[in-house]
Amino acid sequence: MIVKVENLVKRYKELIALDHFNMEVREGEILGLLGPNGCGKTTAINCILSLLKIDKGSIEVFGQKMTPNSYALKKDIGIVPQEVSVFQNLTVEENIDYFCGLYIDDSSTRKQYVAEAIEFVGLSEYKKFFPKKLSGGLKRRLNIACGISHKPKLIFLDEPTVAVDAQSRNFILEGIKRLNRDGSTIIYTTHYLEEAEMLCDRIIIMDRGKSLVTGTLQELKSMISTREKIIVGFENLEEDVTDKLRVIPHVIDIEKTHSEYTIKFENGINNISNLLDFIRSNELIYTKLYSQLPSLNDVFLELTGKELRE
């Protein structure tokens, strides 16, 4: 294991930020860390990095105990924080050189690494710019370059695509895939479920400082009761048919919005056929009807009862 966290507890006076939190990260994977705001994601990262003092538990990185003085371990770790953390009075190139220099002493190696980082994040045209002249998306790219320029084996990416335009977001996501293909193990937090589905080999869903479940996307989907959702819209509907729809086999929940119904089923067999039989027998006219398999959002909502973007 690259990272092993056991029974991690972090308190702020009466507030328990991490409540016996557990996490394992395997070499070469992208691990997604998901949870609503305030659930403890960033606190967990800061504890793993020994930036915060823990109250209880154990943390191992690269098979060794992590402490504030574990400088040899930290040379192989990159951190891209949630907030853009660069020096406003340094250019793009000078910022990257500064952060790379914290780990790389040899000047020729550092020069090469800085050039490669600038090219990697697509900032070659902006290397003499000061951060205040960059757009939000370009600042995020600079933030990433500063965190990965020393070529770390383990990278923490804490919501790196927050508040960026679509083009920069896609650029960043493709860059993360390349980092992983080049051998970096990545811990990735995000508020965008589609990003986790696209990037992550495994996912931890946490809430109230605890790790609720861990697994691949398919493993997580198998843990919830919903196996299929069917969305159906009716034309000229004179009454609410929610109660009538409940007689269809395997229905576990129904949500109604105007004349459109989202029907959740506990299995994925014959549901559309059964719904069509219901429509015919009740002489209804449908304007739309389509099926969806459970998504990561369904998993998250069922396990936490919350929207991820809270």
pLDDT mean across residues, the chain: 93
Tell me what pLDDT residue 308 has: 57
Please give the single-letter amino acid code of residue 144.
Answer: I
- Looking at domain 228-293, does it have CATH number 3.30.70.100? yes
Average pLDDT over residues 24-39: 93
Q: pLDDT of 174-230, one tens digit each?
A: 999 999 999 999 999 988 888 999 999 999 999 999 999 999 999 998 888 888 999
**pLDDT at 255 > cutoff 70:** yes
Question: Under CATH, which number does the domain 3-221 receive?
Answer: 3.40.50.300
**pLDDT at 113 > cutoff 50:** yes
CA 73/CA 246 separation, integer angstroms: 57
Tell me what pLDDT residue 302 has: 84
Tell me what pLDDT residue 267 has: 87
Tell me what pLDDT residue 164 has: 83
CA-closest candidate to residue 20, choices 35, 4, 5: 5
Instruction: Report domain extents, the chain.
Output: 3-221, 228-293
Tell me what pLDDT residue 309 has: 52
> What's this model's pTM, rounded to 2 decimal places?
0.86
Cβ proximity of 149 and 125 under 8 Å: no
Average pLDDT over residues 237-247: 92
DSSP state, 89?
Answer: T
- Among positive and negative, which fits the CA dihedral 172, 196, 190, 65? negative
Q: pLDDT of 125-137, one tens digit each?
A: 999 999 999 999 9
